[in-house]
Amino acid sequence: MNILQLLTLTLGKTTPVLLACMGGLLSELSGVINFALEGMMLTGAFFAVWLTYSSGSPWIGLLGAAAGGTLIGILHSLVCLRFRANQIVSSIALNLLAAGASGMLLNQVFQVYGTSPTVEKLPALNQLGIGRLPFLGEILASGAGELSILVPLSILFNLALIAFLKWSVWGLRLKACGENPLAAKAAGLSVNRIRFLAISTGGALAGVGGAYLAIGELSTFVEQMTQGRGYLAIAALILGRWRPFGILPATLFFGLSGAFSEWLAVRWTGLPYQLFLALPYAVCLGVLLFQMDKKQPPSALGRV
Amino acid sequence: MKRIADCSVNGCSVCPDERFSKTIMAQSQCNIENRLGPLLAMIPALAVGICFCLILAFLLNIEPGDMLAAIWIGAWGGANEAAATLNKMTPLLLTGLAVSVAYQAGLLNIGCEGQLTLGALTAAVFALGAAPLPWPLAMPLTVLAGALVGALWAFPAIWLRNSRGIHEVISTLLLNYVAIYLADFLVRGPLGDGTSMARTAEIPSAGIWPNWWNLGTFGVTAAPLAALLLSCILHLWRYQTYWGYEATACGNNPVAAKAAGIAVGRRQAWNFLLSGALAGVAGALEVVATHHRFYAAFSPGYGFDGITVAFLVNNVPGWTWLSSLLLASLRSADKWLQISLGISPNTIIVLQAVLLISVACQAGFRLPLSFGLGRLLERLQRHSNHREL
């Protein structure tokens, strides 16, 4: 495996975490703790496969994934904002709900346990007809062409998110709700409505992250297929210190770490591959421990 | 305290924990209505859960009674099922206690999964190493070793909180994964039994807890009894000792507790370590009583289920047996649902999520049974006081 292949693998591992992390960022910047990313991704993955299966088009599946993530987001905001439940407990309950409901629906819709039938994938990069371009073509020919179209899309999404949070009025309003909801309210904003929108949009992003797993990388839904990537996204959010620009390097590092562990498992079976699986979490703890970055989380995070 | 909370209701700054803590404060008053508070808090959630079952049965074209009956038969239908349910209850009860002890001091320990995993691994390794010791010495020491490692794994979280101001939920979440991968590495490498099964060797029969009740094929070990005993001790400790009282005060209002001269940080730290130790005991008992060895990923999410167990009864240790029994029944009924009705065992997980959501929403709902009645009485009282004035 050469360096380009490692890079390809890294990008593939980064994408779902980056998408979920952006979802978490939107929600947490608006002041609501969102640990339900895992559930949003899982729901998104299931809806992606379901709708692709029933409609035949992976693009409709992608839309469905966004809708599925939004559904969990709406539930989360309902439970947290309307009923004022503990946000962490609500998130954990929603993760359970998504894990159970996706397994249950898998049985109801496809009459199978464990793994759904295969569906059509989203197009890969080398199917787009840009392979003839001079420089890009060489890269695509070397294996990067297998990557899903969601990989560049997720980076574009991230750039759009940075612009949105930095330069748009709505981005500023969203951050105001997270930093000082009372001041935001006094300025005439409807705090709960903004938070609701932020959580739902975040849910859609995390759902697309799930869709990447289901119809971008694989072409099937497997029970519990997110395998803690939602929690990894939260770790990336912490490592990126709640900065829209910080989460990109954080998720890239996590992706590299994951790719490296996969590489090790193949190459040197003597070395513990678990080390690189645990590395993202250990690095996160280290950053918290040594307080390498003074940036604090949104000050009203977790308070309704 | 109550006045402060009431004043901030109309702002958007009231924290849901304050409402929970109000109910906890109410429980420390000695009257029968408040003593039964946890039970009353559980009833609406149960009602929602049963409604959910009925709706689901309607959607799936199953006779509604059949579904509830299937859950009952799967959990308590025969000697084997009952024994399995009772054995499943142990880790759920202990992780539930772990969550409630931490929540008592105002902390949320979602790291039970990691503490439980490492506690179990330590217990398995210790039991293997302590084979030459006589059993009256080896058995308690095995469980203690598990507890110690559980507490050790909770320590970084509380230390980070007290010295760096990092929320314990974040650090325990991160520590969970580090623990799971660490255990996975150890059990595949240096501590494994040499096969590719990712498990330790089986512990010698002297270290295994014997059955006290030969129910069904497998029987019930003393582990559920030990867990019940622990819950009683914790209940007494919480309501009858200074330490327990001070810890509850830290959870209800840390500022007021500090002003009253309580060392808030230290109380919270000890409670959190105790919480980690309880999760470690859960893992250790699971090894010495049920599995007799440590498997990688042997816990089907007991750590997270502890949150459901604790919140279902409002974090009161003395009632935790009820919620853990409920969850254990549901968990052991899942296979029977698949066999008898042909619906996915995941239904049980959905049901558990519905229970947790409905109990978490109660703070905002103020369901008449648990909250409204009290408030109504309070209002009537205030009204009559006004008249007297």
Q: What is the pLDDT, as a whole number, of residue A304?
A: 66
Contact call for A272 and B16, based on CB within 8 A: no
CA distance B2 to chain A (A): 18
- With b for 16 or more beta-carbon neighbours within 10 A and e for fewer, the A96-122 pattern comes to bbbbbbbbbbbbeeeeeeeebeebebb
Contacts 24+ apart (CB under 8 A), B255-262: B256/B1
CA distance linking residue A243 with residue A61, whole number of Å: 30
Output the average pLDDT for chain B.
83
Q: What is the pLDDT, as a whole number, of residue B2?
A: 38
**A99 contacts in chain B (CB < 8 Å):** 346, 349
CA distance linking residue B190 with residue B181, whole number of Å: 14
Structure confidence by residue, pLDDT tens digits, B302-318:
988 999 999 998 889 98
Determine contact, residues B312/B42, Cβ cutoff 8 Å. Answer: yes
DSSP secondary structure of B146-205: HHHHHHHHHHHHHHHHHHH---HHHHHHHHHHHHHHHHHHHHHTTTS-SSSS-BPPPPPG
Determine contact, residues B318/B235, Cβ cutoff 8 Å. Answer: yes
Determine contact, residues A256/A241, Cβ cutoff 8 Å. Answer: no
CA distance linking residue B336 with residue B352, whole number of Å: 16
Q: What is the pTM of this model?
A: 0.86
Q: What is the pLDDT, as a whole number, of residue B109?
A: 92
Determine contact, residues B112/B99, Cβ cutoff 8 Å. Answer: yes
Determine contact, residues B327/B308, Cβ cutoff 8 Å. Answer: yes
Closest CA to B347 of B338, B359, B358, B356: B338
Contact call for A288 and B173, based on CB within 8 A: no
Alpha helices in chain A (DSSP H): 3-29, 37-55, 58-77, 87-110, 134-141, 150-167, 169-179, 181-186, 191-211, 229-239, 247-267, 274-290
Q: What is the pLDDT, as a whole number, of residue A146?
A: 78
Determine contact, residues B341/B67, Cβ cutoff 8 Å. Answer: yes
Closest CA to A65 of A211, A201, A188, A244: A211
Which one of B346, B352, B355 would you mutate to disrupt binding with A, by most A Cβ within 10 Å of its Cβ? B346
Who's near B343: CB < 8 A, 6+ residues apart?
A104, A107, B60, B62, B337
CA distance linking residue A228 with residue A254, whole number of Å: 13
pLDDT digit string (tens) for chain B, length 389 residues: 333 333 333 333 334 455 455 555 544 544 555 677 778 778 888 888 999 989 988 888 888 888 888 889 888 888 888 888 998 999 999 999 999 999 999 999 999 999 999 999 999 999 888 877 887 888 889 999 999 999 999 999 999 999 888 888 889 989 999 999 999 989 887 887 777 778 888 888 777 888 887 777 778 888 899 999 999 999 999 999 988 999 999 998 999 999 998 999 999 999 999 999 999 999 999 998 888 889 887 888 898 899 999 999 888 998 999 999 999 999 998 888 888 888 888 889 999 999 999 888 876 665 444 555 666 677 777 777 666 55
Q: Count Cα neighbours of A282 within 13 Å in the Cβ-side half-sphere.
A: 12
What is the token pair recorded at A229? 């990537």
CA distance linking residue B51 with residue B248, whole number of Å: 34
**B361 contacts in chain A (CB < 8 Å):** 79, 83, 85
Residue A218 per-residue DSSP state:
S
- Collapsing DSSP to helix, strand or coil, A7 comes out as helix
Residue A97 near chain B (CB below 8 Å): yes
Q: What is the pLDDT, as a whole number, of residue B375?
A: 67
Ordered domains of chain B (ranges, CATH): 39-362 (1.10.3470)
CA distance linking residue B356 with residue B41, whole number of Å: 12
Structure confidence by residue, pLDDT tens digits, B167-203:
888 899 899 999 999 999 898 878 877 777 788 888 8
Contact call for A291 and B164, based on CB within 8 A: yes
* A75 → chain B, closest CA residue: B357
Residue type, A160: A
CA atoms A73, A74, A76, A81: torsion sign: positive
Query: Distance from first CA to last CA of chain B, Å, rounded?
Result: 24
Q: Where are the beta strands (DSSP E) in chain B?
A: 211-213, 220-221
What is the token pair recorded at B240? 């009858």
- Collapsing DSSP to helix, strand or coil, B91 comes out as helix
Q: Exposed (0-12), middle (13-18) or buried (19+): which is B144, by Cβ within 10 Å?
A: middle
Determine contact, residues A50/A30, Cβ cutoff 8 Å. Answer: no
Residue corresponding to tokens 């969970």: B176
**B184 contacts in chain A (CB < 8 Å):** 274
What ipTM describes this predicted complex? 0.89
Residue type, B341: L
Determine contact, residues B280/B115, Cβ cutoff 8 Å. Answer: yes
For B356, which of A89, A99, A289 is closest by C-beta distance?
A89
For B181, which of A82, A108, A277 is closest by C-beta distance?
A277
Q: Are strands B211-213 and B220-221 parallel, antiparallel or unpaired?
A: antiparallel
CA distance A192 to chain B (A): 10
Which residue stretches of chain A have pLDDT < 70? 1, 129-134, 136-139, 142-144, 269-270, 292-293, 304
